[in-house]
Amino acid sequence: MTRSPQKPKTITRHPQNAPLQALIPRATAPTQEPGPDHPHENFDRAARAAVARLSGGVSSYAFLEAWSDWAQHMARAPGRQLELAEHAQRNFMKVFSLATSPTSPPPFAPKPYDHRFKYAGWQKPPFQLWQQSFLAIQDWWDGATEPMRGLSTDDAERTRFLARQTLDILSPSNSPLLNPEIIAETARSVGKNLIEGGAHFTHDAMKTLTGQRDPAPEGYLIGKDLACTQGQVIFRNDLFELIQYAPQTAQVQARPILIVPAWIMKYYILDLSPENSLVRYLVGQGFTVFMISWCNPTVDQRDLSLEDYRKRGVMEALDAVTTVIPDAPVHAVGYCLGGTILAIAAATMARDSDNRLASVTLMAAQVDFAEAGELLLFLDESQIAFLEDLMWEQGYLDRPQMARAFATIRAEDLIWSRAVQRYFLGREDVPTDIGVWLSDTTRMPARMHSQYLRGLFLENRLTAGRFAVEGRVIALKDMSVPMFVIGTETDHIAPWRSVYKTQLFTDGDLTFVLTKSGHNSGILSEPGHKGRHYRISRRPAGALYVGPDAWLAQTEPKPGSWWPDWADWLMARGGGQVNPPPIGAPDSGLAPLASAPGTFVFQP
């Protein structure tokens, strides 16, 4: 049975924080409560926070536990030790054979994502021997960190991750005496590359020490070159600004689109350059688009909670949209962490019989965190407590601390290859729109981040039936609106198999897309982008569940961009064409406040 949308209400701005409500009822409190405070608790927290600042917010407990677990199980597995000894002997003989016969094919190849050895000089002696020796050791450690009987799966994966990080440090590509590209460039420029690299290193070190950031390069200015789709800010509270984009067609679809981006970064990943702006594409297809632009929290906003982001973020934005365009259900779109909070909001709306949504689109967004990738490897009680002490002192998780965590996942490219290019080859970073966005990081308020890590990542409450909003548990299966879910093939933040599990916890009509590339570039897959492909299928309401591997085997890839398929899907549920709505609703307190991209996007 179809219910009519609720009547929109007049918007009231809230300059101060509304009373914060507990997200989790007492009956479902975290599994490990903090111990009772003692007279010198603050002294202890300050000491732990100081250690956390030195370590970049990383606790050593999980590292030590993983190595200890692996070493103890290896010590009582003589057969496994013998196998690894034979493995080492085979690898040594392969490298020795190459040393004695340099023209023979190299026995080891870098991993598909490893670009450190692409330079042609690595295929010539003696550099090829150094490269192959490194890859042989890497291959041995891959075998040594495979799961063992009795060894915790988490500890096996942690040990492999740690071994990879250690080997990345020791790679011959990082040494100016072993890397043929550095040697060749030094000879060609008579050492100028090392002088320029030293200047780059000094510049970057000063940025790290002072916390300053470089201004956007020419041609990548926000509001002029990036985030430049025309529109107006029609609503603002202390948490977000709401942008309504100007129509570009004579008529528009009756049902508007509300986009909820992640607040871990700024919104304009979805409105980058004009040629790859998802916002511009949707507006050009005849949709009325609204975008949330989150604030960059300061220490004064340390008590912002997940409930604030739902109630005073998503829900107040939805109130504003339905005030501007009444009597039309809204297509809600959530990206990354914004998709998670949108799913929470949509499930709460379904529970409360709030029928203002026409559909829900989740882009690279997880609702289940059991397979959340390498970010989950070291997330345990010790790590969260460590971060909480750091945030207790700062009031937030700072930008460099988050950036390092994401960079470590692909350290060979994001840390070491970049360091070689910048400090030894003396090359400036080539500016790109996505690179400018990646450097424009934000902070995470202490309370919200702690709730997010504990309730979602560590305890996986949302799909375990233990996530409560306003004192009552919500269930994703209550959502009956059509869903469009996108995963990306090489996503290391929201792995596609984890995103795919949305199908396991919902029963309604759901279209799933798996697109080429990673967390950001897979979403930015505009028509005409070369080399792109995607897989798409529809699961009707009530259909049986098909696992991700079986789905992958039976779903053929299609060339091109997934954007047109999504636009067609939205149009089929768009409510027909109407004249464009006004910008804002001045009579209801939604007069235009500023031109897009607004003011929050410029917050340092």
154-183 residue pLDDT tens? 888 889 988 998 999 999 999 999 999 999
- Compute how many other C-beta atoms are within 10 angstroms of the C-beta atom of residue 516: 20
- In the structure, how many helices (H) and strands (E) does the chain have? 21, 17
- Residue ranges of the chain with pLDDT lower than 50? 1-34
**H or E stretch at 513:** strand 510-515
Residue 447 structure tokens: 């309370």
Is the residue at 452 inside a domain? no
Q: Judge whether 361 and 334 are in contact, CB under 8 Å.
A: yes
HSE at residue 103, side-chain half, CA atoms within 13 A, is 0
Residue 134, SS3? helix
**H or E stretch at 97:** helix 78-100
Based on the structure, what is the number of domains in the chain? 1
Is the residue at 401 inside a domain? no
Is the residue at 402 inside a domain? no
Is the residue at 359 inside a domain? yes
Active site residues: 336
Paired residues of 241 in beta bridges = 236, 293
pLDDT at 8: 41
What percentage of the chain exceeds 90 in pLDDT?
67
Work out the burial of residue 504: count CB atoms within 10 Å of its CB; fewer than 13 is exposed, 13-18 middle, 19 or more buried.
middle
Is the residue at 258 inside a domain? yes
Is the residue at 107 inside a domain? no
Q: Judge whether 221 and 437 are in contact, CB under 8 Å.
A: no
Is the residue at 214 inside a domain? no
Residue 79 structure tokens: 């057969």
**H or E stretch at 320:** helix 316-324
Is the residue at 184 inside a domain? no
pLDDT at 212: 77
Residue 555, SS3? coil
Q: Which residues contact 226 (CB under 8 A, 6 or more apart)?
A: 216, 220, 268, 271, 272, 273, 433, 436, 437
pLDDT at 63: 79
Q: What is the CATH number of the domain that holds 565?
A: 3.40.50.1820
Which residues constitute the domain of residue 539?
A: 231-370+460-599
* DSSP 8-state code for residue 37: P
pLDDT at 18: 36
